[in-house]
Structure 1
Amino acid sequence: MSALKVTQIKSKNGANHAQRESLRTLGLRKIGHTVEVNDTPASRGVLHRVRHLVKVDDES
């Protein structure tokens, strides 16, 4: 299973509750923080919800 490298690039201030919870679920804490997430349909859905706050790099 491949992994995705996810970096938070914008603040969660002003985001709604679902978006803040999505960032917490991904393990992102602050701007510039990077985590690796398994590439599954569930994680893709969470990333879609916060696509304007994060940058996703495919790690093959």
Structure 2
Amino acid sequence: MSQLKVTLIKSAAHRLPKQRTIVKELGLGRVNSSVVLPNNEATRGAIFHIAHLIEVEEVK
């Protein structure tokens, strides 16, 4: 299974509480922080909600 590298591009400050929670749960803290996550339905669902704040790359 492939993995996704998720990078926080925009700050989660002044966003909806649900969006801030998702950013924290994905393990993203500050702007430009990155984390490698499994490419599954749960991860993709979370990414969908905060797509305007992050950048996603596929990692093999």
The reply to whether TM is greater than 0.5 is yes
Where does residue 46 of structure 1 map in the other structure?
Answer: 46
Structure-1-length-normalised TM-score? 0.96
Q: How many residues align?
A: 60
User: Helix, strand or coil for the counterpart of 2:20?
Assistant: helix
Structure-2-length-normalised TM-score? 0.96
C-alpha displacement at 1:41, in angstroms? 0.4
C-alpha displacement at 1:13, in angstroms? 1.2
Percent same amino acid among aligned pairs? Answer: 35
- TM-align CA RMSD: 0.6
